[in-house]
Structure 1
Amino acid sequence: MASSTGGVQTVERAIDLLEIMTDLGGDATLSELADRSGLPLPTIHRLLRTLVQRGYARQMPSRRYALGPGVLRLADAAGRQLGAAARPHLERVAAELGETANLAMLDHEMAVYVAQASSTHSMRMFTEVGRRVHLHCTGVGKMLLAALGEDEVRAIAQRTGLPAATEHSITGADELVAELGRIRERGYAVDDGEQEVGVRCFAVAVPDAPLATALSVSGPAARVTPEFADVAVPVLREEAARVGDRLAGR
């Protein structure tokens, strides 16, 4: 059956269930899946039976449903492909700026780090590939949010609640909307101790990427000063354009 968006409805519904499990930390009850998806229980049962048979979901002893090993296999393959395409460009950023470079993509209402090149300094950032972070308190996350409309941003803020990672984190929707306006005007985002105290990050969008993607450089605030943006942002923009070309298959 085709969906109103032109896709296949059964596939869309199965993906919805997997995304709900992901958003809930990797597993969910039938009632949670029903409440969040709006699907009737017989439909959920039928979809889960297929997902379990194919290894993309599993039923736990508690009768909760969790992501299965098939999802890990797909994620590992996708991560390797993205990392291979982006890593040379992240390494150029890290080598030229001397700080850790990260590539992150929009993952529903979070950002997920998909590639990284570490700083050569002994004191550096250790954000690991695969980590999912909130959008409102990270440089890459705010850059991804800046590409969305205000209504969508406010809807995300309402659903996530804008939890504070530090005392510097944005916790109000109006404040977030205003910050995103400033990001659009200057063309890059700043995380000034909002995710981790004492760490500053600059991020730019990756143009023409198939999914919303951002490239960042981060490090201790003592080295990554506000003035560091004058040097960092042009380098980030140049390599972000190259990453976008690679991801778009050009």
Structure 2
Amino acid sequence: MPVETNHGRQIQSVARAVQILEYLATAGNQDSLSNISRAIGLSKSTTYSLISTLEQLGYVQQDQSTGRYSLGMKLFELGQVVHSSMDIRRLAMPHLRELVAKYGETAHLAVLSKGEVVYIDKVDSLHSIRIASQIGGRNPAHCTGVGKVLLAWLSDTELEKVMAGRVLHKFTPNTITDYAQLKRHLQEIRLRGYALDEEEFEIGLTCVAAPIKNHRQAVIAAISFSGPTSRMNNENLSMIIRDVTETAKIISMEFGFKE
């Protein structure tokens, strides 16, 4: 049942499951059901129910020869994702600042999550009129420059899985709302190495985006550079495209990518 804490309501079963994980993290390699139940102050039956659920989900594993429990590979996988995100933010930030210092517009670092763009870092525009966005915010992938980049490097199978059942909402007259057309557009993006959002998400907004790749040549994130169309015009857009793609390449190489 929920209980009150200093930070609001807490689901007791979730809190107890986390206690088990934290205990196993500090208990060394493995420990027995009896020791775990004693350490967290629960009966063996309750502890066993919680551990069985965690085991089914991959967060705990049991040594069949000893019957003792340890942390599962699922936690390692999640830790790797968090570690990668932290590393990519650290590596990307100085380069995003350089782009903003040169052109004055807004730079973002983003990843793909459940078919949407999630912004994991940003550097604000130097202008008083700027893009309203925030770290942790989400936007559709099909009509944003950074989203289209992240979709473009998925395999056909991955793309179909990500887009399954997803409606391509129309935000402006320029938004692509047909899946077949979007797929052709993504192929073009992959060939040229960058994406443009030409007022597809918001009228008056233009964006240039390029992929960040790791040592396996997999796209793990993307950077974007966005501003009012009036300032990102034909006079400087080609230079911005060049610098954004080059910046993404530099970050990729710092992250282990080799051509």
Superposed CA RMSD: 3.4
Change (3 A) 1:184 1:82: closer
Query: TM-score w.r.t. structure 2 length?
Result: 0.62
What 5-or-longer segments of structure 2 have no aligned partner? Answer: 1-48, 59-79
Q: 1:93 deviation in Å?
A: 0.9
Q: 1:79 deviation in Å?
A: 6.0
* Structure 2 counterpart of 1:157: 163
Is 2:230 the counterpart of 1:222? Answer: yes
Is 2:124 the counterpart of 1:118? Answer: yes
SS in 2 for 1:183: helix
Equivalent of residue 139 in structure 1, options 124, 142, 145: 145
Q: Distance in 2 between matches of 1:151 and 1:227?
A: 39
C-alpha contact 2:194 2:245 (8 A) present in aligned 1: no
C-alpha contact 1:135 1:141 (8 A) present in aligned 2: yes
The alignment-based identity, stated in percent, is 32
Q: 1:168 deviation in Å?
A: 2.4
C-alpha contact 2:111 2:117 (8 A) present in aligned 1: yes
After the TM superposition, which of the residue ranges 137-146 and 122-131 deviates more from structure 2? 122-131
C-alpha contact 1:203 1:217 (8 A) present in aligned 2: yes
Equivalent of residue 186 in structure 2, options 180, 201, 204: 180
C-alpha contact 2:152 2:189 (8 A) present in aligned 1: yes
Q: 1:49 deviation in Å?
A: 11
Is 2:226 the counterpart of 1:207? Answer: no
Query: TM-score w.r.t. structure 1 length?
Result: 0.64
Which residue identity lines up with residue 152 of structure 2 in the other structure?
A: A
Q: Distance in 1 between matches of 2:118 and 2:162?
A: 16
SS in 2 for 1:201: strand
Q: 1:154 deviation in Å?
A: 3.6
SS in 2 for 1:206: strand
C-alpha contact 1:82 1:114 (8 A) present in aligned 2: no
Q: Distance in 2 between matches of 1:226 and 1:154?
A: 35
Equivalent of residue 102 in structure 2, options 71, 90, 96: 96
SS in 2 for 1:212: strand
After the TM superposition, which of the residue ranges 174-183 and 87-96 deviates more from structure 2? 174-183
Q: Distance in 1 between matches of 2:154 and 2:257?
A: 24
* Structure 2 counterpart of 1:83: 89
Equivalent of residue 232 in structure 1, options 219, 227, 240: 240
* Structure 2 counterpart of 1:6: none
C-alpha contact 1:208 1:244 (8 A) present in aligned 2: yes
Q: 1:48 deviation in Å?
A: 10
Which residue identity lines up with residue 244 of structure 1 in the other structure?
A: S
Q: 1:75 deviation in Å?
A: 9.4
- Considering only CA atoms, is the larger Rg found in Structure 1 or Structure 2? 2
SS in 2 for 1:159: coil
- How many residues are paired up? 190
User: In the TM superposition, what are the counterparts of 1:189-208 in structure 2 within 5 Å?
Assistant: 189-208=195-214
